Amino acid sequence: MNELPEPSLLRASLKQLEAERSWARAVKNCQAKKAYRLEVHAKAHALQLMNNPRKRLRAEVPIYTYKCPMCGMYHLTKKTPKP
């Protein structure tokens, strides 16, 4: 007869699974974004997007840069950076 594993083992397995899913989401998110080697290049592109003369192509919200923990390069984001 199959017995259920101990609750502590189940919790550990669920935490491991969630950590793997979180990692996979972060990798997929990184791969989907354009990466810039230098922060100055990322900021220049953000300014271009925010000040585009064609209103249809202009970003409606401020765009920020952040250093990606996955690849070590810079990406653009609409999320306000944490202090």
Q: Residue 68's pLDDT is what?
A: 92
Counting as low any pLDDT under 50, the low residues of the chain are: none
Cβ atoms 47, 59 nearer than 8 A: no
- How far apart (Å, rounded) are the C-alpha atoms in residues 57 and 14? 43
Residue 53 structure tokens:
């003369």
pTM as predicted: 0.70
Amino acid at 29: N
Q: Residue 16's pLDDT is what?
A: 85
1-21 tens-digit pLDDT = 567 667 777 777 888 888 888
Three-class SS state of 74: strand
According to DSSP, the residues that pair with 66 across neighbouring strands are 75
- How far apart (Å, rounded) are the C-alpha atoms in residues 66 and 74? 5
Q: Residue 5's pLDDT is what?
A: 63
